[in-house]
Structure 1
């Protein structure tokens, strides 16, 4: 299953939010179709036309959104007025702006899954369904797995050592904080070098296997710097969430009526699969699909197939307006 081909967007624009940000969005597919919003990863990722390939253009109205400070949104990269509550509120502002009564589907992976869950908990009455993959709830346990002493760092020791060794010995006690200082300093060369190494670690553990093409993105400064800056910005601020906030009983209760499809690579080294299992057990209307031969990226064949199938299954359902 290669996915769906979409024509050029039938609409695009920039939505002013806050005092400095203008969010870039694009609409594809059927103008009066079932609305789906695509929430990209990161923080610091962005959307591209290929993200529409999961959605049947004869059924879906597909909205791509570049989050604050990334992609074609302006200004970028920008960390001012850029917090998790801001991003959640932006999704709702876009829905209102586009006069969409209710999202048929909210789709997100990795950091996008975080935003999808937070949005569903904040605005449960306007979410028809969720498709989320590579589950990330920002808990301390997940962060420790990603960059702590026990977790992915023990499985990819050579890649993590390279990440650590970019910093001088006296700065290695606070990797995220000292990378952040470099990523936000005034010296352009320092920022670019830090971004390359920050993102190299991400890419090293992002898929089941890597090859020479995996790291080509590191040469794209327009991707590398915003991605690293925003990801570090959110990390040093604990994502502006309490530890375990998404998984609290009161918050989960708000979204228990929403059908949720969870797709998780069994060997995801970025977002440990334990959290997908916990989320599935906590949501009675959820379906968990394990991908036995996949890591984190949705580009891996098994994950991609199941994402396409999930969106096709939901396309024929009716969640009301």
Structure 2
């Protein structure tokens, strides 16, 4: 973990009312007069991670983090799907930016966080100073089919079998739809079993070298239920995006400096998406890491992210 800056505690923390009955948990750390950056967590449904504060030089950066709707400590309870879409999250970011008096901020996000970063930047490009993305995901049909309809099964056959196990055999041609039914089942036991199976599939595929610690983390029932409910909710609706929208509209990012950090062997979000985004985003830099998968702790990822944040701190 030498590529990370030392641990740092939040300097301020609280809740922000963003409407629709939602209050999002927010944190600030680092230099209050420093360069603003907002960290966008993955999932959807994971939440603020203390390690996320350590990608930045705290003497230079004003680090902003928040739990997205239905995630972490935001209220209503974790996993709440009411008024919870990608565009609600984009709106929440603007409410937060204005509340903090920030004119422009850097966006930092991986996986689903990269999705949210792209959607926000293409909606509010004048409010973005730079963008750093990891493990790019744009919710295209082909990306969802790869991870949830058998593509990654070619690399993880035993884990795929466990992923399919909760779904009735006649519903396994569309696992996403099958899981949506299971997670809405009246039986708490069925909902929890499905949530853990969904979540463990990602834990099993996230690193280039599968690690039991990831599986245990993703199998924790409270985390799994939030993670699965929000992911299935978002992905069943294509995140309320037109097919291919975030690649199609990447030209709107012209003039915004950006670094894309991508593992060559990312089995969750294969590098073709990062490459196509790079091709469509004028002036972006693609750092394709040999020997890395999707996990932020895979070889070379932390160092590449620190190099990117350091390069933009001036």
- The two structures have a TM-score, normalised by structure 2, of 0.96
1:188 equivalent in alignment to 2:188: yes
Task: Point out the more displaced range, 255-264 or 138-147.
Answer: 138-147
Matched, 1:308 2:306: yes
Structural mapping, 1:3-152, within 5 Å: 3-75=4-76, 76-103=78-105, 105-149=106-150, 151-152=151-152
Among candidates 277, 286, 301, match of residue 279 of structure 1: 277
Could you say what secondary structure the match of 1:138 adopts? coil
**What do you get for the CA RMSD once the two structures are aligned?**
1.3
Task: Give unmatched runs, 5+ long, in structure 1.
Answer: 317-321
Q: CA deviation at 1:284?
A: 2.3
Hey, what does 2:226 align to over in structure 1? 226
For 1:269 and 1:117, the matched residues in 2 are separated by 21
Counterpart residue number, 1:319: none
Q: 2:175 corresponds to which residue? A: 175
The match for 1:269 among 251, 261, 267 is 267
Residues paired across the two proteins, number: 312
Contact 1:27–1:62 under 8 Å retained in 2: yes
C-alpha separation between the residues in 2 aligned to 1:253 and 1:171?
A: 39
In the alignment, the residues of structure 2 paired with residue 92 and residue 126 of structure 1 have an alpha-carbon distance, to the nearest angstrom, of 9
**Counterparts of 1:305 and 1:6 in 2: how far apart (Å)?**
16
Using the size of structure 1 for normalisation, the TM-score is: 0.94
Aligned counterparts of 1:288 and 1:227: Cα–Cα separation in 2: 29
Contact 1:6 1:29 in 2 (8 A): no
Conservation of the 8 A alpha-carbon contact between 2:8 and 2:54: no
- Contact 1:110–1:136 at 8 Å: present in 2 too? yes
- 1:17 match: secondary structure: strand
Q: Distance in 2 between matches of 1:7 and 1:243?
A: 40
Number of the residue aligned with 2:154: 154
Q: Which range is displaced more, 211-220 or 152-161?
A: 211-220
User: How far, CA to CA, are the matches of 1:169 and 1:85 in structure 2?
Assistant: 35
